[in-house]
Amino acid sequence: MAEAKREIERKYEAAAGTGVPDLTRVRDVATVVDEGVVELDATYHDTPDLRLAADSITLRRRTGGSDAGWHLKFPVAAGVRDEIRAPLSDTLPADLAALLRSRVRGGEVVPVVRLRSARDVRRLLDADGDLLAELSVDTVRARRLPGGPRASWTEIEVEAADDADPGILDAVEKRLRKAGVHPSDAPSKLVRALAETAPEEDRPDALRQPCAPGTAGAAVLAYVREQTEAIVALDPAVRRDLPDAVHQLRVACRRLRSALKTYRSVLDRDATDPLGAELKWLAGELGAARDQEVLAERLRARLGDVPRTLRRGPVKARLRVWDTARTEDARRRAVAALDSDRHLALLDRLDALLADPPLRKAASRDAAKVLARAVRKDHARLAARVDHALSLAPGHERDLALHEARKAAKRARYAGDAARPTLGKPAKKFSERVKKVQSLLGEHQDSVVTRATLRDLAARAHAAGETAFTWGLLYGREEAAADAAERGLPEVWARAASL
């Protein structure tokens, strides 16, 4: 069974025989315990074209030391990685393979580098004997596999203890710099090993740019690439059930789908419409999990606002049981979608689009003019939907029209976001104002969905012989929330319509 750990560390250059300064002079360090030297033997795996390394991901099988096994590391920030560990085995564990699926796809991972290190470890303890950090001097011997070039170097690695203040790393670094030890240019041993053992013919050429800088094609493709990379990167985050991962992956799908629609003067829709349909499918499969998350949070908050004297029956227990069952079903559905061949086919097709984009004539034109025109067109579309919704009497038809306006607001906002690198402040201002319209319409739609759920919960409570009083009270409050959103729309829209 794999387990996760947040790793916060820094690496430093060191010449052979580099001495370590007296670390008891570091703030909060009372004792330094020399643990001696341990021999580590790690084989790093990647695809033959090094897709994992390109995304700063490392996968290794290591023996020696206290944590022998498989280690998969995902970047979080500079010097911070999430490490997922699995027990030592001859083959890659299935749960780690699943986390790599969006990158490896139908390919395989193979040994690419072997690193053998002599690790001289020192434990830095505070006055209570608690671990603050570990410092190691690593003498590394690297070999490119199979049977490729070799390299060797010495480095110092400092890793903060799990429960320690990461500020200890700043204090240790200050002491090391005074001793003439400086940060390494390589963020990991693997990066350095690949660089120093790469045969000349294996070094990548510069990425071919299908569009000249400053053109609409270059701007749109940069945004498409950004969202595609987000979809790939968020796949393992959803599998790990990280906070907000489902939402962010769904947003990336929607942003990309919106861009393909908005900028169809740049990219041929005959090629992009089928991709848009697949992105809609994936967002829909993820939607059950995200919608349940939002709905459950809303109901818990609403119930929390009800005075105890008005909470009749086992309302909290019923809500908890309802949420648990639906959340588990929604998560299974989301992971099943990511495990599907359809999802992998979508990723391959997005790569193909970026490798050989179906450019139209507008792709070679000035980016500012083309993108501004597309944004204005989406704004006009939003205006038509808002005007139509406001012309209807309150009721079911108006609810449907407001929902369509909300989708148009989201698309217009995404269009402005995509244009921000090109258009700058005007696009930012546009996005911010349209986002307020989207948020208000989202509040209205959330109320519509919540009321439907409250009717279901009330019916279940009644069938079980419970009072439905509290559910009815919440229903009335949701009606009031929807009414407030409708009354506030003309003013919010007037500010967005004036752009």
pLDDT tens per residue across span 210-239: 888 999 999 999 999 999 999 999 999 999
- In this prediction, residue 105 carries a pLDDT of 93
Mean pLDDT of the chain: 93
- In this prediction, residue 210 carries a pLDDT of 82
> Are β-strands 80-86 and 69-77 bridged in parallel, bridged antiparallel, or unpaired?
antiparallel
- In this prediction, residue 16 carries a pLDDT of 67
Residue type, 238: V
66 or 99, which is more confident: 99
- pLDDT over 90 (residue 499): no
**Looking at the chain, how many residues does it have?**
499
- pLDDT over 90 (residue 176): yes
Return the closest-CA partner of residue 493 out of 418, 408, 427, 420.
408
CATH classification (class only), 206-307+314-362: mainly alpha
- In this prediction, residue 1 carries a pLDDT of 52
Q: Based on DSSP, count helices (H) and strands (E) in the chain, helices before strands.
A: 14, 8
Hey, how many other C-beta atoms are within 10 angstroms of the C-beta on 13? 16
How do residues 315-361 score in pLDDT, each as one tens digit?
A: 999 999 999 988 888 899 999 999 999 999 999 999 999 999 999 99
Whether the model clears a pTM of 0.85, i.e. scores above it, the answer is yes
Q: Are 497 and 427 in contact (CB under 8 A)?
A: no
Output the CATH code of domain 3-202. Answer: 2.40.320.10
Q: Are 60 and 42 in contact (CB under 8 A)?
A: yes
Q: Are 86 and 70 in contact (CB under 8 A)?
A: yes
- In this prediction, residue 65 carries a pLDDT of 85
Rounded distance, CA 392 to CA 398, Å?
A: 6
- pLDDT over 50 (residue 77): yes
pLDDT average, residue stretch 124-143: 95
- pLDDT over 90 (residue 380): yes
pLDDT average, residue stretch 15-28: 85
How do residues 465-489 score in pLDDT, each as one tens digit?
A: 999 999 999 999 999 999 999 999 9
Q: Which two tokens stand for residue 93?
A: 């564990």
Residue type, 229: E
- In this prediction, residue 198 carries a pLDDT of 85
How do residues 240-276 score in pLDDT, each as one tens digit?
A: 999 899 999 999 999 999 999 999 999 999 999 999 9
- In this prediction, residue 106 carries a pLDDT of 86
How do residues 403-446 score in pLDDT, each as one tens digit?
A: 999 999 999 999 999 999 999 999 999 999 999 999 999 999 99
Domain ranges of the chain: 3-202, 206-307+314-362, 366-499
